[in-house]
Structure 1
């Protein structure tokens, strides 16, 4: 009995130790960097609304930061969040927050949502370089599209699969056999699908199936006058384009996590969807803005004709396309009304 009593006496002490160990566990840990960022974010947002600027790669960022029109904020010139640097400043006396998102749809959507959630922005201007899909456009031209599609949502079908269904269009690989008509192509065909758009204006958990994302009509009207602006023709004194670049408002664009360097595919995209440019981010930025109910405009400079020249053309004229894009961005910001 004595040993049993001793065991019973130890039981309460055992439960006290277990319960107290649960007490010291943090319920909802908060990373210290979030706490450190909270105060400057509050201070920045008290100053009013910002124009959000989202670009993609270093070539575009270099062209933007070289611009004499961008003046960093003297108190808070930047804020580092999630491994990215958000730069705060002014362009034409209008407050802006600028960030480079990195390549691809995921990076673009993540950064755009973060900018909308963290900063007091009134809309997003997304800009960068793109591949040319339209033969009537040229390297160095700038396109401000009215509609953008995600051309990377595919159902890849077996050869001989019945065509039709709810998807938008088919790309049959057999049509591109060399020589033509040389038997069946085991790659089958692709069907292009639609995005599921969740939106503040829609029903909860009931996405709308959309193929085209529209950029903001009011901002497109503001941009219409930019078609008259003068763009740069030369990278340097010895490297110039054969003709003066132009800016066009109201075309269509395609986005996918694919670098398009194939003339046949370029022709298919243009003939089927009527798109004039191809990039890897624009539809993600546009869709995130539309989903949240924020204005969006996309400004893309054409750095190469897809399937002609490849990387060499991008390396030669990428900086010129980026410079012309930034010129258009600065002129558009000038046209925006004050906050």
Structure 2
């Protein structure tokens, strides 16, 4: 039976999913709260990891160690790093990496990988889930997502990240979740909706679009669950 584990960084990113689950129990480990329950016929554990790479990796490892896991889905918001990726668009991860760790270090230190690759099956399910919505107000993109321990809101920093990594968007948890999932041989997917453009105007855009973007991402995750259930 599918045992799907869903992680958001903040409560706003998982609220829509929690509201549609039948929660059977709530457990706490190391300060993280894990909601166990059902969505249709699927066994779900839903949690928030908090902001940043260490929180995300700690929470992911607890999920894997404490709960039977067949897939991990990370949902949330991000800043666009590609001119084709507009506010409220969806980004589905192809691969993830850190923008604040040197590429040489990634390749020469354990686990000796520059990128962590998302599950092809989950990626295809995410595309199908988007297409089921027939949504004409925002688009989806499949591509690289980069993570780092800082909110990117500076034009020069944005340009530097784009030049090195050519990513679709930037956030603060996805690569850590993908990293831990991959070394544990657990399939994963990172889903993001765009709240800002990671530029000098990012704080203003973020305030306006945070909730809308969080709900876009969560809605796609629910559609993925519908695809798996059917």
Measured in 1, the distance between the counterparts of 2:150 and 2:87 equals 19
**Match for residue 65 of structure 1?**
18
- The answer (yes or no) to whether the contact 1:50–1:120 under 8 Å persists in 2 is yes
Contact 2:37-2:43 within 8 A present in 1 as well: yes
Partner of residue 312 from structure 1, selected from 172, 191, 204: 204
- Give the structure, 1 or 2, with the largest relative contact order (CA under 8 Å, sep 6 or more): 2
SS in 2 for 1:254: strand
Give the structure 2 partner of residue 220 of structure 1.
123
Counterpart Cα distance in 2 of 1:93 and 1:151: 38
Sort the Cα spacing of 1:301 and 1:261 in 2 relative to 1 into closer, same or farther, 3 A. Answer: same
Give 1:231 deviation, angstroms.
Answer: 7.9
SS at match of 1:131: strand
Counterpart in the other structure of 2:140 = 247
Number of the residue aligned with 2:222:
330
- Aligned-partner Cα distance in 2 for 1:282–1:101: 11
2:35 to 69, 82, 87: 87
Question: What root-mean-square deviation, in Å, do the aligned CA atoms of Structure 1 and Structure 2 show?
Answer: 2.1
User: Paired residues, what number?
Assistant: 230
| TM-score, normalised by the number of residues in structure 2 | 0.92
Aligned match of 1:282 in 161, 174, 177? 174
Structure 2 CA distance, aligned partners of 1:326 and 1:311? 22
Pairwise mapping of residues 86-105 of structure 1 onto structure 2 (< 5 A)? Answer: 86-105=34-53
Contact 1:230 1:246 (8 Å CA) reproduced: no
Give the counterpart of 1:146 among 61, 71, 94: 94
Structure 1 counterpart of 2:162: 270
Distance 2:133 2:139 in 1: 8
Query: Gaps (5+ residues) in structure 2?
Result: none
**Larger radius of gyration, structure 1 or 2?**
1
Q: Determine if contact 1:63/1:319 at 8 Å carries over to the other structure.
A: no
Conserved in 2, the CA contact under 8 Å of 1:149 and 1:255? yes
- Write the deviation string for residues 201-245 of structure 1: whole angstroms up to 9, x where unpaired: xxxxxx34221111111221222223424488xxxxxxxxxx811
User: Which residue, 190, 194, 204 being the options, matches 2:106?
Assistant: 194
Higher helix residue share: 2
Q: CA 1:281 to 1:299, structure 2 compared with 1: closer, same or farther past 3 Å?
A: same
Match of 1:321 among 204, 213, 226: 213
1:126 to 61, 71, 74: 74
Structure 1 residues 229 and 137, CA gap change in structure 2 (3 angstroms): farther
State whether residues 3 and 44 of structure 2, in contact with CA within 8 Å, keep that contact through their aligned partners in structure 1.
Answer: yes
Displaced runs of 4 or more, over 4 A: none
Superposed displacement of residue 121, structure 1: 1.4
Distance 2:39 2:23 in 1: 9
Against the structure 1 CA distance between its residues 308 and 139, is the aligned structure 2 distance closer, same or farther, given a 3 Å change threshold?
farther
Deviations 1:245-275 (A, max 9, x none): 1122x21111111211012222232233210
Q: TM-score, normalised by structure 1?
A: 0.63
**Once the two structures are superposed, what CA deviation does each residue of 1:268-300 show, in whole Å capped at 9, x if it has no partner?**
322332101101110110010100011101101
